[in-house]
Amino acid sequence: MAEEDEDIVSGEDRDIIDGVIQDGGGGGGVLYTNLNPSTITVGGIPAGSIFNAKTMKQMWDALLYPYIPPTFSSFLLTGISTIEVGDTITGNQTFTWTTTTPANIVANTVTIKDVTGGGLVLELNKPNTGSIVHDFTGAPITKIIYTFNRFSIEAINTLIATFSRNLDIWWWWRVYYGTSVNAGPLVAADITGLATQVLQDTFPKTYVYVGGGYKYMCWPTSFGLATTFKDSLTLLNVPMEAPYIINVTNGFGIATNYYVYRTTNILGAAINIIVT
C-alpha cells in the first residue's frame, strides 16, 4: 500500500494546472502556474501578477524578499543652499549625495546635470561614492534676480530604470534691519549699514532689536507691504511711519528698490517686533 501511495505522488506525467502546485515532470521539480491575475498585493508580489511555471524558490523569494528600488535620499552642494542675488557659483564645488539600497544600483551610472542650464551634463557615469568635486570655472552660474538654479542627480537601478533627485539653489535678496538715531530718510549706505543683514525671500518674521534709537527694517519692494507690527511681548501694535522707497545696490552690484520702515518713536528698550 505504501508503494502504491509513493507511485501516485511521484508520477512524472502530470500536467501543470492553474492554481495548483504540480510536479514539473522529468525531474524538473515542483512548479506553480496560475494565469489569473492576483487580486491583492502580498509581500513582494503586487496585485495583478500572474505566474507561469515558477519554482517554489522563485515564489518564496518574490513573496519574502521583494526588490527594493534604490533612491537618492539626499543631494546637496556643500556650503551652498541660498546665496545673494548677484553672487556666483564658480570654482571647485562639492556635490554630495546618499542612496538607499546601493547594491541595487548599476555601477558607474551616477550622472549630475544642470537642469536650468538646458540639461547640461556636469558629471557623467560616475561611481556611487557619495561625493564629487565639480569645477564650475568654465561655466559659472550667476543670477541677477530672485530665482533658483536646478540641478539633478540620476543613476540606473539593476532593473535598468533611471531614478533621480533634484536640488534647487536659490538666489535671495538681503533684508536689512537695526537701530539708528537717524530720523531719516535713510540713504542706501545707511540701509546697508544697519546692524542685521539676512538673506530672505519674504518679509514676515520677528525682528529683534536692542534698546535705543528708532527701529528700522528694509526689504525689497517685490516682497510687498506689511500690514501689522506688534510687540512680541505684549502683542500691542507698534506705531510705524509710512514706508518710503530707496534704491539699494548690493555688494555684487545689483540694484533694487527697498521699502524703508521706521518706528514712529525712539524706543529706549529692546524689543522684538512681529511683522506680517
Domain with residue 143: its CATH number is 2.60.40.10
Q: Which of 69, 262, 244, 241 is nearest to 160 (CA)?
A: 69
Give the structural domain span for 28: 14-64
Residues 148 and 184 in one domain: no
Residues 219 and 149 in one domain: no
Residue 5 resides in a domain: no
Residues 45 and 85 in one domain: no
Domain stops at, among 113, 135, 170: 170
Residue 8 resides in a domain: no
Residues 90 and 146 in one domain: yes
Domain stops at, among 170, 205, 229: 170
Q: Looking at the 3D structure of the chain, how many domains does it have? A: 3
Rounded Cα gap, residues 256 and 246, in angstroms: 8
Residue 137 resides in a domain: yes
Residues 162 and 182 in one domain: no
DSSP state letter for 7: H
Residue 34 resides in a domain: yes
Q: What is the pLDDT at residue 136?
A: 98
Residues 222 and 211 in one domain: yes
Q: What is the pLDDT along the chain (276 residues), one digit of tens a residue?
A: 444 444 433 334 444 444 545 544 444 468 989 899 988 888 778 888 888 998 988 888 777 878 889 999 999 999 999 999 999 999 999 999 999 999 999 999 999 999 999 999 999 999 999 999 999 999 999 999 999 999 999 999 999 999 999 999 999 999 999 999 999 999 999 999 999 999 999 999 999 999 999 999 999 999 999 999 999 999 999 999 999 999 999 999 999 999 999 999 999 999 999 999
Contact 170, 148 (CB under 8 A): yes
Q: Is the peptide bond before 185 cis (omega within 30 degrees of 0)?
A: yes
Residues 269 and 179 in one domain: yes
Q: What is the pLDDT at residue 29?
A: 67
Residues 97 and 138 in one domain: yes
Residues 60 and 83 in one domain: no
159: which residues sit within 8 A by CB, 6+ positions away? 67, 69, 104
Residues 150 and 194 in one domain: no
Residues 81 and 163 in one domain: yes
Residue 6 resides in a domain: no
Contact 66, 49 (CB under 8 A): no
Residue 46 resides in a domain: yes
Residue 246 resides in a domain: yes
Residues 38 and 127 in one domain: no
Residue 1 resides in a domain: no
SS3 145: coil
Domain stops at, among 170, 202, 224: 170
